[in-house]
Amino acid sequence: MAAMTMPRRRPGRPRREETRPTRELVLTVATRLFAERGFDAVGLRDVAAAAGVDVATVSHHTGTKAQLYDACFARVFAAEREVLEAAAERARAALPAGPPAARRALHDLVDVFVDFLEDRPETTALWLRRWLEPHRHAELDERYAAPLYRLVAELLTAAASAGALVEPTPHITVRSLVWAVHGHVVALAAAPSGARERREFRMFVHRFLDGLYGPAGS
Amino acid sequence: MAAMTMPRRRPGRPRREETRPTRELVLTVATRLFAERGFDAVGLRDVAAAAGVDVATVSHHTGTKAQLYDACFARVFAAEREVLEAAAERARAALPAGPPAARRALHDLVDVFVDFLEDRPETTALWLRRWLEPHRHAELDERYAAPLYRLVAELLTAAASAGALVEPTPHITVRSLVWAVHGHVVALAAAPSGARERREFRMFVHRFLDGLYGPAGS
DNA sequence: ACATTAATCCAACGACTGATGGATAATGGC
DNA sequence: GCCATTATCCATCAGTCGTTGGATTAATGT
């Protein structure tokens, strides 16, 4: 149909500032709207109005509404995945240097995660909304959640075998940690200032990562 | 308008089984649909079809769609609050009996919470959907979240002063715990069988509650 | 027996939805 | 300078939405 080929040129009446193509602008405002209100509460005309273009232009650049939603989702999580994998690589490199270095590496990793989500709350919003769609559950788990969880779980296991902490159920631990972070971000959205809350949450997560419910066991 | 007065009688054609009034049936199926698909993705005609009645009957019993949604929400969380407050009362009574009893009481409290949400996943779904609505954030926090968080946070503080655990930031701890449980329930919805997952999550939460990131501190 | 009240359904309205065909304008390659 | 290509907008369609007025049926109070 339309917009199937790459935009090699950019003709058309240049009524808009040309710093960046229209498609990027549409994706950006659509991501914000979808995160705020959800898929069904956002009309294509809302996206068009927020982007300053016509409805047909939105459809022209992004196809179906479902395709637009998927594009927003993929863009947001590609960014998250990139940041997290880079941080995980650094942590993995620091693990063999002994427990203190491993502990610092895990702290850095989780800080990167928290920072990222605090800076981009739409990531948390889209993530949670996807988890609430049963028919997308399997895809979301396989393509997004499982790899990231596995990544961090492997780090936790490696840190445990390096003596940095004791970790009986890495999968559940990681998932609980991730949801706690999402809850933190959602709470921050209600009280945007909360610098003290941010600081205290980081301390909480660090404590959580340390020996924590460590050597004692059940 | 309609249905403003209490249904003191129940006339009308009795085409439906009379075990329970129609309004209850509508609220039940509407709760399930809203939890599964969200407010905007559920049409009143969907609710009517699922309940086996006409659209006008739904409106007659529950008023506006927003009022129907609020009614579902209030009913679900009244049940949760009732169960939780009873369990908290038991825990509060067991606190003065010393650290071992306090520890068991906290385990029981969190088990009640996990059991409740596992048995009624629609509670978690509605809860998360409300958190994603910015304009309802304040109301949700003040009327539902804050009292429950305060309840458990007081228990944690009391347990700490009783020597059962060390707890620097009760509010963040409780919120993280709650979100971890919700994440557990959401994950269970994807893999409904997971008896092993349920068992391991309970162990995780118990470990979390125990000395945990306890005496070590930051 | 009758009047009242409530429950239910049918039909419809206006508004909005996502999607699309076609006209217009402006660009880049030739 | 011309042509193919692309972007953009306008107008519109068929469908669905939440809501409501009115007719029908039945149970209750007296």
**A16: DSSP letter:** S
Q: With an 8 Å Cβ cutoff, are A175 and B168 in contact?
A: no
Orientation angle between helical segments B65-94 and B121-131, nearest 10 degrees: 110
Interface test with A, best of B40, B113, B135, B172 (most A CBs within 10 A): B172
Rounded Cα distance between B115 and B58, Å, is 32
Helices vs. strands in chain B: H and E counts, helices first: 10, 0
CA distances from A115 to A109, A112, B11 (A): 10, 5, 60
A56 CB contact with strand D at below 7 Å: yes
Task: Give me the count of residues in chain B.
Answer: 218
Determine how many CB atoms are found less than 10 A away from the CB of residue A30.
Answer: 25
DSSP letters along A97-136, please?
G-HHHHHHHHHHHHHHHHHHHHH-HHHHHHHHHHHT-GGG
The torsion region of residue A75 among left (phi > 0), alpha (psi -120 to 50) and beta comes to: alpha
Q: Any residues with CB less than 8 A from the CB of A110 and at least 6 apart, and which?
A: A177, A205, A206, A209
A12 CB contact with strand C at below 7 Å: yes
pLDDT in tens, A140-158: 777 777 777 787 778 777 7
Rounded Cα distance between A200 and A52, Å, is 41
3-state SS class at B194? coil
Nucleotide C29: nearest residue by CA–C1'?
A: A9
A45 CB contact with strand C at below 7 Å: yes
pLDDT in tens, B29-73: 999 999 999 999 999 999 999 999 999 999 999 999 999 999 999
Q: What percent of chain B has pLDDT over 90?
A: 26
Q: Any residues with CB less than 8 A from the CB of A97 and at least 6 apart, and which?
A: none
3-state SS class at B36? helix
Helices vs. strands in chain A: H and E counts, helices first: 10, 0
pLDDT in tens, A56-89: 999 999 999 999 999 999 999 888 889 888 888 8
What residues in chain A have per-residue pLDDT under 50? 1-19, 213-218
Q: pTM for this structure? A: 0.83
